[in-house]
């Protein structure tokens, strides 16, 4: 789980969101409306809903480009549940919520790395009969 989750208010411009993403080397922001999480803005959202439509990032508000609802999971949920949610909801990241608060995110890359580590560990086990 990556705990580096950044937040942006829904009335900010997509240009401001891009600036925040680049400066912090992240490709998604949790969108807040008066402090309450209401969606997620990803690089994919920006390409599809802003740039792909010929719109200027300076003139589009984050709430017009974001994806909603936020897909969440509990911190103690198995990795298989995270994978299932991503496939079912067709998302690349899900957010970890504890006591009603977003505490981190899990990405496809995180899951792939974790699965690869498990496979490599299993491969190294020698069986004796």
Give the residue carrying structure tokens 């949610």: 85
Binned at pLDDT 50, 70 and 90, residue 116 comes out as confident
On the question of a cis peptide bond just before residue 67, with omega within 30 degrees of 0, the verdict is no
Q: How far, in Å, CA of 10 to CA of 77, rounded? A: 29
For residue 114, pLDDT over 80 is answered with no
Please state, in angstroms and rounded to a whole number, the distance separating the CA atoms of residues 69 and 123: 39
Instruction: Enter the tokens of residue 101.
Output: 């608060």
Span 43-90, pLDDT tens digits: 999 999 999 999 999 999 999 999 999 999 999 999 889 999 999 999
The pLDDT tens digits of the residues spanning 95-106 come to: 999 998 999 999
**Domain annotation for the chain: domains and CATH numbers:** 7-123 (3.10.580.10)
């Amino acid at each position: 789980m990556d705990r580096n989750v950044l937040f942006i208010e829904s009335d900010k411009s997509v240009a401001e969101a891009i600036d925040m993403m680049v400066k912090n080397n992240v490709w998604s922001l949790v969108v807040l409306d008066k402090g309450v999480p209401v969606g997620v803005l990803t690089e994919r959202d920006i390409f599809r809903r802003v740039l792909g439509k010929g719109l200027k990032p300076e003139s589009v508000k984050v709430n017009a480009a974001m994806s909603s609802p936020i897909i969440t999971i509990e911190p103690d949920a198995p990795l298989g549940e995270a994978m299932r949610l991503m496939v079912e909801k067709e998302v690349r990241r899900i957010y970890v919520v504890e006591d009603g608060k977003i505490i981190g995110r899990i990405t496809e890359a995180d899951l792939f790395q974790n699965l690869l580590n498990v496979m490599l560990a299993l491969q190294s086990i020698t069986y004796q009969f």
